[in-house]
Structure 1
Amino acid sequence: MSTVDQADGYARSVLVAVSLSIAGLLAAEFVTIPAFLLDPTLLESPGEASNASIFLLMTLNFLGFFLVGGLYLWWTERGWEWLDLRMPSRRGWKYVLAGVVGSIAFVMAVNVVATLFELPSSENQVMQLIGDDPNMVLLMIVIVFLFNAPAEEFLFRNVIQKRLYAAFSRMGAVIVTSVIFALVHIPAYALATDGSLAPLGAIGVSLAVVFGGSVIFGYLYARTDNLIVPTAAHAAFNAFQFAILYLVLQFAPEELENMMAVSVEFLTTLA
């Protein structure tokens, strides 16, 4: 297949983007099988699994995104030359800082609106694995920097968003990618901790945060053509959220319930 981008139809480009997203989720399901085989507790009672098992599960989960993105680049003969990887310039690091600050401000704004209109927010499934263990929160910060942000930004930004440039304007590609990114997070927010379906309003609030964050990171990539910029902003933002959660667990556990939604609104879906 040709490595040269040609004008492409909207429908075909979106179909490719959706297919890659679904393939990423399926790959994440498949590659996490060893973790469940090694520790069945992850399936039966995730909150009681060991930190080592949870770390392995999360690591394998994000490797599924790398696998799908890499296979797509190989199949389309784009190769690793397609990757936009280079050390950011001073301007690039300014975009990183702006992305982190903008993401934090956006989450705070959504929470203010949700509070004013008394809209609930659904809890991400990640919290079932973290529980109230501060050590697991620290491990999640490691996962965010090494696997979570790099995997998501690689697949959704440098593969899917960049592929959409063939049919859409850059901002159009950002919006389409963000819609898809939000939709694939539905499984992470749809179920309440008791297994019941979360309120639609709660799911909507959480997905609004995911969509907005994706628009911010997609814009950073569109402006810089450098994957490291949105990846660094994404990782720093999620690390900031987990840092808040760690401080709450360590010094104010009685406030944990009120901090849950703010701390983990924008985390990725679990396989």
Structure 2
Amino acid sequence: METPSRVRSASPLWATLVAFGLAVFGIVATQFTTLPAIFLEPALIESPGDTSIGARALLMTLNFLGFALAGAIYLAATDRGWSYVDLRMPTKRGWLYVLAGIVGSLVFYFLVSILIQLLSLPATDNQVMQYIAGDQTMILVMILIVFFFNAPAEEFLFRNVIQKRLYEAFSRFQAVLVASAIFALIHFPVYLAASGDPLAIGPSDLLATTVPLVVVFGGSVIFGYVYAKTDNLVVPTAAHAAFNAFQFGLVYLALEFDLETGEPVQSLLVDLLAVVPV
């Protein structure tokens, strides 16, 4: 349902600044929520791959809880309350949008993967790969974290809080694009840091960082769209979780088939199509 123009009385600039501030607040919150894990296992800072699976899982779980905490604080501070949260069991139509979100994100991901291979584009993996450290068991743990913490927390903050806040100043489609741009933008430092020394970043590093951000932005647009069409947080959360689980599944299969796991996850998809029997 389109937001009536008479309701969109907020300044687009101010709404965008608030939305971006909420995203930054979410990042800052994760720095505090992860402190217990780092206190228990300081090696998580320098060499996470050498720590126990339990320590890594705790860190990742607390990290995503930081996003949920930021959203909850905003709702409380602005007197929006929990009634603002669009959480309910999807209808048959809602489940169809879940399916559309999953299929749409996977098709987009496949097309980007093919393009990366055809153009030989460099692509940087998320720093999360440092916490997996080639451990198949950790991949399975991450899939569970994706379903119960990652997707719910990110969709709550970026869809139900940030995107919905943008409805006050933009049309729903515009709000989807702005929220997705912000979602991609906050991932930029993460991918940039994973590409090498931030003080020695060159054009190729910037390109390698931009490629995965295209995937992040595109996926966010798809999840934002299904949320805008259903006003139900469960719909984008389910699609998001399935998409991320698919990405981790690719890494698991790459290890299973002894592929070069140093490649970006996007490239692994094309490689796996050549070795996995169909």
TM-score (norm 2): 0.89
Q: Given the alignment of the two structures, is residue 67 of structure 1 paired with residue 69 of structure 2, yes or no? A: yes
Whether the 8 Å contact between 2:254 and 2:260 is mirrored in structure 1 is: yes
Deviation at residue 146 of structure 1 after TM alignment: 0.6
Partner residue of 1:260? 265
Secondary structure of the 1:185 match is helix
In structure 2, the CA distance between the partners of 1:185 and 1:194, relative to structure 1 (3 Å rule), is closer
Partner residue of 2:22? 20
Separation of aligned partners in 1, 2:159 and 2:117: 32
Determine which of 222, 229, 250 is the counterpart of 1:216: 222
Partner residue of 1:235? 241
Q: Given the alignment of the two structures, is residue 248 of structure 1 paired with residue 263 of structure 2, yes or no? A: no
Q: Structure 1, residues 97-134: CA drift from partner, whole Å, max 9, x if none?
A: 11111111111111222222221111110111101100
- State the identity as a percent: 56
Q: Structure 1, residues 204-229: CA drift from partner, whole Å, max 9, x if none?
A: 11111100000000000000000000
Whether the 8 Å contact between 1:141 and 1:242 is mirrored in structure 2 is: yes
Q: Counterpart amino acid of 1:96?
A: V
Separation of aligned partners in 2, 1:183 and 1:193: 16
Whether the 8 Å contact between 1:144 and 1:235 is mirrored in structure 2 is: yes
Secondary structure of the 1:184 match is helix
Determine which of 179, 183, 186 is the counterpart of 1:184: 186
Separation of aligned partners in 2, 1:261 and 1:109: 10
Separation of aligned partners in 2, 1:210 and 1:35: 27
Partner residue of 1:57? 59
Which has the higher mean CA deviation after the structures are superposed, 94-103 or 143-152? 94-103
Separation of aligned partners in 1, 2:170 and 2:156: 19
Separation of aligned partners in 2, 1:254 and 1:261: 13
The correspondence of residues 1-271 of structure 1 with structure 2, limited to 5 A, is: 7-192=9-194, 195=197, 197=201, 199-249=205-255, 251-258=256-263, 260-262=265-267
In structure 2, the CA distance between the partners of 1:59 and 1:263, relative to structure 1 (3 Å rule), is farther
* Number of matched pairs: 259
Q: Counterpart amino acid of 2:153?
A: A
| Cα RMSD, aligned residues only | 1.7
Secondary structure of the 1:15 match is helix
Partner residue of 1:268? none
Q: Counterpart amino acid of 2:65?
A: L
Separation of aligned partners in 1, 2:76 and 2:236: 23
Q: Structure 1, residues 151-201: CA drift from partner, whole Å, max 9, x if none?
A: 000000000000000000000000000000000001221024654647111
- Structure 2: stretches of 5+ with no match in the other structure: 1-6, 270-278
Whether the 8 Å contact between 1:28 and 1:60 is mirrored in structure 2 is: yes
Deviation at residue 255 of structure 1 after TM alignment: 3.9
Separation of aligned partners in 1, 2:173 and 2:195: 36
Separation of aligned partners in 2, 1:123 and 1:186: 11
Secondary structure of the 1:191 match is helix
